[in-house]
Amino acid sequence: MKGNPVRIVGGMTLALVAGALLLYGAHPVRGSDHQDSPTTVNRPAADITDVFAYQAPHNPNNVVLQMDVWPLITHSQLGMVALDPAVMYQFKIDNTGDGVEDLVIQLQPTTAGTGQSINVYGPGKPNETGTYSSFIPQTGSVAFNDRSGTPLSNGMKVFVGPTKDPFFFDLLTFFNIIPDRYYGCHAPFTNAFGVPCGGATASSFNGFTSAFNQQHSTSCSLTPASDTLSSHQFNVIAIVVEVPKSLLLNPAHPVMGVWATTSTTSGS
Ligand SMILES: [Ca+2]
């Protein structure tokens, strides 16, 4: 995402019910995030792994926003996992530069399971800003894993379904650097990757160059980096919206900030 005029934030949420209104609340966190708290492990469909924003590859008038959830889906789990109907999935867009959302796109499935239909709301002005949210008027709906790309009435295309995890991360080397983060060494898991469960066996990530080491007077590993997530065929559920830029951009401030949240009313 380097060079793109967008901010990338992944978020997991807690929530409260306030008064007679059903409000969804969020506590955002920054950066790629796979299974980093008991709350997210217990509700993987609300565990945001990454958020991306990029130019639509086939239409210069559109921008694509993508939120990936449910980390580390194995091949055998495909066809059995889908979005959680208790969760509000939300893209937030700041188009004035103040870090406060001016527009939101919200999604929520109507039922559990891979036969679910997902309601889509917005893009539109949020009813609230910050950590509490409620639904804005609905735009349309899309079936889980519908790959037809049929536009909604506002021209937005939506895809929700399983995809290969696009995030490049040399996870096993990370575990070798900080072994206590390796869940394979903690009951009831088994050491599926064969990572040493003792002390650290690596001091840097792989993939550095001799020129880098010389420039920085260091000796980082020259071993090629390995994309652990895709090489072990891990998948995520991708929530992808392709949106006409005209629906999101503010001509007076042509830089757009994007982040995402998942929220529940139960707080867990
Ligand atoms: Ca704003």
Let me know whether 66 and 189 are in one domain: no
User: Which residue, 56, 111, 115, is CA-closest to 245?
Assistant: 56
Any domain includes 268: no
Lowest-confidence pick of 34-38, 218-222, 230-234: 34-38
CA of 90 to the centre of ligand 1 (A): 16
Same domain membership, residue 143 and residue 205: no
Average pLDDT on 14-20 reads: 30
Confirm whether 2 is domain-assigned.
Answer: no
CA–CA distance, 62 with 5 (Å, rounded to integer)? 15
5 CA distance to ligand 1 middle (Å): 15
Question: What's the CA-to-centroid distance between 253 and ligand 1, angstroms?
Answer: 10
What residues sit around ligand 1, an ion, with C-beta below 5 angstroms?
A: 94, 96, 98, 100, 102
Q: What range does the domain containing 40 cover?
A: 7-167+233-263
How many other CB atoms are found less than 10 A from the CB of residue 249? 17
* Tally of helices (H runs) and strands (E runs) in the chain: 4, 13
Instruction: State the DSSP string of 40-77.
Output: HHH-GGG-EEEEEEEE-TT-TTEEEEEEEEEEEE-GGG
User: Which pTM does this prediction carry?
Assistant: 0.79
1 lies in some domain: no
Q: Are residues 127 and 191 in the same domain?
A: no
Say whether both 11 and 29 belong to one domain.
Answer: yes
Ranking 5-9, 82-86, 160-164 by mean pLDDT, the lowest is: 5-9
Q: Assess whether pLDDT exceeds 50 at residue 68.
A: yes
> Is the domain of 82 the same as that of 181?
no
* CA 181 and chain centroid, separation: 21
